[in-house]
Amino acid sequence: MRQALPVVADVGARVSSTTQVADAFFQTRLQVRDVSVEPGQFVQLRPRCLEGTYPYLRIPLSVSAVDTERGLVDVLYEVVGPKTSALRHVCVGDEVGFLGPLGNRFPEPASDATPILVGGGIGVPPLIYFGTTLRTAERWDPILVVGARNAGKHLPDTLLEPASADVRRATDDGSLGQAGLVTNLLTEALEAGSAAPVVYTCGPHAMMAAVARLCAGRDVPCFASLEEYMACGFGVCVGCVVERADKESQPSPYGHYARVCVDGPIFDARQIAW
Amino acid sequence: MTDLTTNFAGIELRNPVLLASGTCGYGEELAPFLDLARLGGIVTKTITPQPRVGNAPPRIVETAAGMLNSIGLQNPGLDGFVQDKWPYLARLQTEIIVNIAAPTADLHRDMSARLEDVEGIAAIEVNISSPNMKDGGMLFGCSPTASREVIAAVRSATRRPVIAKLTPNVTDIVAIAHAVVDGGADGISMINTLLGMAVDWRSRKPVLGNVTGGLSGPAIKPVALALLWKVRQAVDVPIMGMGGIATAEDALEFLVAGATAVQVGTSTFVEPGAAANIVAGIESHCDNAGIARVEELVGTLRV
């Protein structure tokens, strides 16, 4: 299904707040005029304090919530290096370069489908936005299944609740929810016999590969939001490619690779050579 | 108002700022961000005789003040370019320079001959400098003899200006510059990326799928300026300078060091409208400095 995507812009956004929401996870709320973002799309941010030469590239981040009326866009991220650390410390009211929205969106499920959102670690944010729009449409009751290494790597209920009334958690060490992998929770959800399940996933590559395999084995549609090292974010550098599984049947100018930034980041999981 | 028009090897440029090969695709993706007609020109992503799928990912990694890439010249091939990419480029009100690479000198000649039939190409830039091509590119550009042969092959097949794009990964870039001029180059572009590598010590693996890649971005600007200045003193053909240009002042430094025009590359990834902002910045800096024509600045370095 093709839906028209909002126009991309290279503008300035103002930080309206930054809050620590878990271990090293932060939420930054950006005030940005006349920009709309569809669920699954991402943005490339550049704190003005980083406008020197190192670090040089922008920070690609998915969007976890949007309030179009008030012009607010939330990003949720883990502080892992100098760029995310800089973003975390941008003062309220200061400007951040905002390039977006970029990429495609999660496809809407059929009206009788049960969406199951499967997130891992800091891959959960785009699923929050998507789940929220599904619930707001009042046609779906998405199930949100979340896995993380430990309790500290889980986002709090307050952030997940808008996306789902049915949040199920797993941790590798058993410190929160079920002990074990998120795929166990997904298997349970699928075996409970929900009507027409369709899976949307975002998280570490190995987790998404396992989710994709599980879905393929049960003939359940699965859409994955991919991540790759990225430079431009709008298609010119051809750096953020992933290998396609359907390379023989899909002759394209970009051969058997697809660009995560413009051909994705959302792919039908069967298209990817996991 | 400073006159920004620039003559580069017979090509009349609106201003001396172009988009560098490999950083602007074939123009389309950048159109939402800047008016391409405001630029001096566009140098297309390298095209090869046949389509190339490019290198295995990861292809990109950020490094200090720059990045490594090992895209591997992924492109739709000559036919794909002419059919699918050229129609859009042909409509743009800016000069289009087509960048080519091939595994042999003969194939360079065949590509150039085929492009002779395509109306509207301003010049051919020959990529004898890609560090990501195992069957050409830098293999030619590291040898004066091979560089001369490839440029002579292109020269024999086209009436258009021929620009040789040089690699910095050589012992003596001046020898290569002399060789391409001997081969018939009307101009030189420099520098392509510096060979580089990133290592993940925990996994003990290279970060890039191709092991090594090309370093670009502000980190390489001083290297580019030094090599440009050396080549400027050695040959008479005009030079397109590039390597880490992110601001109008960077561009002006290249002009003073001897570049007739400049190409903006990696900074487009960070700021898609960077080249247009650089044009505006050059104009205001020159106005403020009372420079009547931007060409007056070229090669004015006082040593």
Q: From CA A234, how far away is CA B108, in angstroms rounded?
A: 30
Q: How far apart are the CA of B269 and the nearest CA of chain A, in angstroms? A: 4
Q: Which of B26, B62, B88 to mutate to test the interface with A (most CBs of A within 10 A)?
A: B62
A231 CB neighbours in chain B (<8 A) are 60, 62, 67, 69, 266, 269
**Residue A134 pLDDT:** 97
Mean pLDDT of chain B: 96
Angstroms from A186 CA to nearest CA on chain B: 29
The residue ranking higher by pLDDT, A192 or B138, is A192
Residue A249 confidence (pLDDT):
56
A237 in contact with B, Cβ within 8 Å: yes
Q: Minimal Cα distance from A51: which residue of B?
A: B270
Confidence class for position A2, pLDDT limits 50, 70, 90: very low
Average pLDDT estimate for B125-132: 93
Mean per-residue pLDDT of chain A: 93
Question: Which pLDDT belongs to residue A65?
Answer: 97
Kindly report whether the peptide bond that precedes residue B161 is cis, defined as omega within 30 degrees of 0.
no
3-state secondary structure of A199: strand
Of A3-17, A38-52, B86-100, give the range with the top mean pLDDT. B86-100
User: HSE-up of A14 (CA within 13 Å, CB side)?
Assistant: 8
| Residue A255: predicted pLDDT | 65
Segment B37-94, tens digit of pLDDT: 999 999 999 999 999 989 999 999 999 999 999 999 999 999 999 999 999 999 999 9
* CA separation for the pair A31, A72 (Å, rounded): 5
State how far residue A51 is from chain B, nearest Cα, in angstroms: 10
Which pairing describes strands A178-179 and A197-202: parallel, antiparallel, or unpaired? unpaired
Interchain proximity A240–B60, CB inside 8 Å: yes
Helix pair B144-157, B173-182: axis angle to 10 deg: 30
Distance (Å, whole) CA B144 – CA A64: 55
pLDDT in tens, A80-127: 999 999 999 999 999 999 999 999 999 999 999 999 999 999 999 999
* Identity of the residue in B69, B246, B270 whose CB atom sits nearest the CB atom of A58: B270
The stretch A191-204 carries a mean pLDDT of: 93
Q: Taking 80 as the threshold, does the pLDDT of residue A252 lie above it? A: no
SS3 A107: coil
Decide if B165 contacts B143 (C-beta within 8 A). Answer: no
DSSP-based three-state secondary structure for B263: strand
Pairing of strands A114-120, A95-102: unpaired
Nearest to B94 by CA among B279, B258, B267: B279
Q: How confident is the model at residue A248 (pLDDT cuts 50, 70, 90)?
A: low
Based on the number of CB atoms within 10 Å of its own CB, is A61 exposed (0-12), middle (13-18) or buried (19 or more)? buried
With pLDDT > 90 as the criterion, what percentage of chain B qualifies? 96
Query: Under an 8 A CB cutoff, do A53 and B32 touch?
Result: no
pLDDT tier at A1, thresholds 50, 70, 90:
very low
Task: Give the model's pLDDT for residue B56.
Answer: 93
Share of chain B above pLDDT 70, in %: 100
Q: Quick count: other Cβ atoms within 10 Å of Cβ B203?
A: 8
How confident is the model at residue A253, as a pLDDT? 54
CA distance A119 to A123: 6
Largest Cα separation within chain A, whole Å, is 54
- Report the pLDDT averaged over residues B120-134: 93
Mean pLDDT of B168-188: 98
B253-293: pLDDT as tens digits: 999 999 999 999 999 999 999 999 999 999 999 999 999 99
Kindly list the distances between the CA atom of residue A205 and the CA atoms of A120, A227, A269, B62, B75, in Å, as whole numbers in the listed order. Answer: 10, 8, 12, 20, 27
Across A132-136, A150-154, A247-251, B253-257, least confident range: A247-251
Q: Which pLDDT value is given to residue B134?
A: 80
Cα A165 to Cα A74: distance, rounded to the nearest angstrom: 21
- How does DSSP classify residue A245? T
| Predicted pLDDT of residue B164 | 98
Asked if A236's CB is within 8 angstroms of B59's CB, the reply is no
CA–CA separation, B260 and B270 (whole Å) = 25
Q: Is 0.90 exceeded by the ipTM?
A: yes
Q: Give CA–CA dist B173/A64, Å, rounded.
A: 51
Beta-carbon separation of A53 and B65 below 8 A: yes
Residues 85-104, chain A: which have Cβ within 8 Å of B?
97, 99
User: Is the separation of the CB atoms in A13 and A33 below 8 Å?
Assistant: no
Q: What is the pLDDT of residues B91-119, one digit of tens each?
A: 999 999 999 999 999 999 999 999 999 99
A50-62 pLDDT per residue, tens: 777 788 999 999 9
**pLDDT at position B55:** 94
Within an 8 Å CB–CB cutoff, is residue A8 touching chain B?
A: yes
pLDDT(A235) > 90: yes
| Cβ(B14)–Cβ(B39) below 8 Å | yes
User: How many Å lie between the alpha carbon of A46 and the closest alpha carbon of chain B?
Assistant: 8
Distance, in Å, from the CA atom of A29 to the CA atom of B190, rounded to the nearest integer, reads 43
Chain B interface, mutation test: which of A10, A53, A252, most B Cβ atoms within 10 Å?
A: A53
What is the model's pLDDT at position A113? 95
pLDDT-derived band at A251 (thresholds 50, 70, 90) equals low
Residue A182 has which token pair?
């998120």
- Determine which of A57, A84, A252 to mutate to test the interface with B (most B C-beta atoms within 10 Å): A57
pLDDT band of residue B135 (cuts 50, 70, 90) is: confident
Helix segments in chain B, DSSP class H: 77-80, 86-91, 105-116, 138-141, 144-157, 173-182, 221-234, 248-257, 267-270, 274-289
- What are the pLDDT digits (tens) for B190-212? 999 999 999 999 999 999 999 99
Minimal-distance CA residue of chain A relative to B66: A56
CA distance B60 to chain A (A): 5
**pLDDT at residue A54 in the model:** 81
> What letter does residue A247 receive in the DSSP assignment?
T
Distances (CA, A) of A199 to A190, A267, B190: 10, 12, 50
A254 has pLDDT over 70: no
**Paired residues of A241 in beta bridges:** A259
Chain A partners within 8 Å of B30 (Cβ): 234, 236
